[in-house]
Amino acid sequence: MEIMIEKLEILLKNIPLDSGVYFMKDAQDNILYIGKAKHLRKRVKSYLNASVKHSHRIALMIQQIRDIEYIVTDTEAEALALEANLIKKHQPHFNVLLKDDKKYPYVCITWSEDYPRIFITRKRRLTNKLHRYYGPYVDTKRLREILDVIKANFSLRQRRKPLYKNRPCLNYDLGKCPGVCQNLITPEDYRQTMEKIALIFQGRTDKLIQQLTQQMQLASADLEFEKARIYRDQIYSLEQLFATQKVNLPDDTISRDAIALSQDDQHTSIQLFQIRVGRLIGRLGFFTNHGQNDDRSEILQRVLEQHYNQIDSVEIPSEILVQYPLLEEEILTNWLTEKKGKKVNIITPQRQQKAQLISMVERNAQIELERNEKFRQTNLKSIEDLAQILDLTTLPRRLEGYDISHLQGSNAVASRVVFIDGIPAKQHYRHYKIQNPEIRIGHSDDFLSLQEVIKRRFSKQDTYPDLIMIDGGKGQLSSVCEILEEMNLMDKLKVVSLAKKREEIFLPYQSEPVETNPEQAGVQLLRRLRDEAHRFAVTFHRQQRAKASKRSVLDDIASLGFERQKRLLAHFHSIDYLREATIEQLMEVSGIGLNLAKIIYDYFHPNQS
């Protein structure tokens, strides 16, 4: 260890005093941490100073450092922008502050599509750089109210897929949709509407109201009174939406954000209030697994950096109120000023109304922290109760639930749902289409279906759950145990079943159910898991049935595409007439040559070829 310290001290002497970005690496050359600094050498030296008391997280990182690299930049703002890009690219373990735990929802606008959609999501899926996310919003009810007002006053697409092929649905006649499915509005005109809506989530409602007022006046001057009425109603709805959100502050024409946090031993809750023209237009929430031993100023700094790195420059406020002075306030200020193109001030208020605002934000963060802790304790009690019911030596943190869904054997599917610490982990959910040829219309077999799914799930080395729950009784459980024994996994996996009628829990090789109270916390947890597995399976089964109902027998004929199928049906009017057609009659259809006509004929007359 002394040799390593000497090596790092030698590296330290070669690090310049310029601003830039530094990389902490371990013995395997993995990047542990990426940071930025106004003076690289001073910042890196602070990590190796034995007299400095670091948080547990930083102390653990320092123990693993074996190499230090750096990139010099011209300005501190460049260093911050470069750090953000590098963290996004490499995702170092010790840089992960805000995990996307789906605690709060976002609003997404899919700008990559010709006709962008707007919807609420619990996860930022950064699959397309053109998509825009706003949030995360703490007040879900308020967020849905905003969306309801938007959908009631702006004509937007109502469905992801059209209901009819050749005509719009009732939403078009009611004025709720501009006829996107039939291209009755151009993508350019539709995007103009979406740009107006985006102003609301950017905190620029005033600008939107100004635009609508101008358009209303122009429409009125042109005697287009119906159009002017629509603009008037939109303006009124937007004014009413934020009428009760007034926050009394001096200089209420200044846009500002206020951020504060509250901590317990294991978690930190951060709240960010967005105030525009004296009105609270958004309340964003963040959670991290950093506790009271972690530096509060550093957490606030990181949250602000991550938040403002993800938003457009027009959304950056002129003033940011912070609960504690930031460690690198000058760097953040310069970067935000450069990004916005106007001066941005970061203030730590000490008295009067701005300090009261910070106190209010802190109280909200504390309330969210307490609510999160109460929810966590409730889940923990359910897990502990379940462990006691099943006589488990360790707490079952990861639960997997399985269910089968079909209609008399048709479109048989299965589901796997996962709960981690009592919370649905939807990123681990999976669908399965049953592939066993014995499972078909008129012949269902849940036992075989479950065996197939379990074999497919555990045929490869993967994360083993602490407990497997099968939706069903003793028969379903026995079939799963049989396949697990064949795979030599019975000793590694804990499996139970939950019967629907009496909510009875069955254990392997036991004829009688476990003695429980259906209202016990552990049983309730299994019921939630079972119900979620059932919901997930039924939903997928219905999707498969819908697809099958739209499927044509012509889809099974090789080389016969959609356009040729349309021509055949237009010529023969039905599959029955098509089935009776000769090769010569088939060739009368445009695009059907001799070879393809023979293929079609042989498909309908397999015994004659």
pLDDT of residue 130: 87
Answer yes or no: do 486 and 421 share one domain.
yes
**Pick from 517, 533, 549: which residue ends a domain?**
549
Give the rounded percent of residues in the chain with a pLDDT score beyond 90: 34
Has residue 101 got a pLDDT over 70? no
Q: Is the preceding omega at residue 136 within 30 degrees of 0, hence cis?
A: yes
- The reply to whether 195 falls in a domain is no
- The reply to whether 175 falls in a domain is no
Residue positions counted in the chain? 609
- The reply to whether 496 falls in a domain is yes
AA identity, residue 490 = M
pLDDT of residue 301: 92
Q: What share of the chain is helix, strand, coil (3-state, %, to 5)?
A: 45, 15, 35
- Give the residue with greater pLDDT, 107 vs 166: 107
Mean pLDDT of the chain: 86
Q: What's the rounded Cα separation, in Å, for the pair 529 and 424?
A: 8
Query: How many domains, in total, are found in the chain?
Result: 4
pLDDT of residue 246: 61
Answer yes or no: do 489 and 533 share one domain.
yes
Answer yes or no: do 567 and 443 share one domain.
no
Which residues are registered as beta bridge partners of 67? 25
Tell me which residue range forms the domain holding 485: 398-549
Per-residue pLDDT reduced to its tens digit, 207-266: 888 888 988 999 888 888 888 888 888 888 887 776 666 666 666 778 899 999 999 888
Q: Terminus-to-terminus CA distance in the chain, angstroms?
A: 80
Has residue 378 got a pLDDT over 50? yes
In this prediction, residue 2 has a pLDDT band, given cuts at 50, 70 and 90, of: low
- The reply to whether 576 falls in a domain is yes
Which CATH number fits the domain that encloses residue 416? 3.30.420.340
- Give the residue with greater pLDDT, 142 vs 101: 142
- At 315 the three-state DSSP class reads helix
Q: Does the pTM of the predicted model rise above 0.85?
A: no
Answer yes or no: do 449 and 361 share one domain.
no
pLDDT of residue 99: 57
- The reply to whether 345 falls in a domain is yes
- Give the residue with greater pLDDT, 102 vs 400: 400
Q: Are strands 398-407 and 467-471 parallel, antiparallel or unpaired?
A: parallel
Q: Tell me which range, 257-261, 542-546, 557-561, is most confidently predicted by mean pLDDT.
A: 257-261
Answer yes or no: do 442 and 529 share one domain.
yes
HSE of 417, CA atoms in CB hemisphere, 13 A = 25
Per-residue pLDDT reduced to its tens digit, 170-206: 888 888 888 888 888 999 999 999 999 898 888 888 8
Cα dist. 413→41, 288, 375, 471, 484 in Å? 60, 37, 33, 14, 20
Give the rounded percent of residues in the chain with a pLDDT score beyond 70: 94
Answer yes or no: do 289 and 320 share one domain.
yes
Has residue 608 got a pLDDT over 80? no
**Pick from 518, 549, 580: which residue ends a domain?**
549
User: What is the rounded average pLDDT of the residues 80-92?
Assistant: 85
**Pick from 530, 549, 568: which residue ends a domain?**
549
Answer yes or no: do 406 and 509 share one domain.
yes
- The reply to whether 299 falls in a domain is yes
Has residue 421 got a pLDDT over 80? yes
Answer yes or no: do 521 and 594 share one domain.
no
Per-residue pLDDT reduced to its tens digit, 446-494: 999 999 999 999 988 778 999 999 999 899 999 999 999 999 999 999 9
Per-residue pLDDT reduced to its tens digit, 283-320: 899 988 877 777 899 899 989 998 998 888 989 999 99
User: What is the rounded average pLDDT of the residues 437-452?
Assistant: 87
Has residue 366 got a pLDDT over 90? yes
Which CATH number fits the domain that encloses residue 266? 3.30.420
Answer yes or no: do 485 and 519 share one domain.
yes
- The reply to whether 211 falls in a domain is no
Has residue 549 got a pLDDT over 80? no
Q: What is the 3-state secondary structure (H, E, C) of 248-280?
A: CCCCCCCCEEEEEEEECCCCEEEEEEEEECCEE
Which CATH number fits the domain that encloses residue 47? 3.40.1440.10
Answer yes or no: do 590 and 464 share one domain.
no
- The reply to whether 165 falls in a domain is no
pLDDT of residue 1: 47
Has residue 145 got a pLDDT over 50? yes
Has residue 103 got a pLDDT over 80? no
pLDDT of residue 96: 66
92 φ, ψ (degrees, to nearest 5): -60, 145
Instruction: Name the E strands within 165-278.
Output: 256-263, 268-276
Answer yes or no: do 272 and 412 share one domain.
no
Has residue 354 got a pLDDT over 50? yes
Which CATH number fits the domain that encloses residue 565? 1.10.150.20
Answer yes or no: do 490 and 567 share one domain.
no
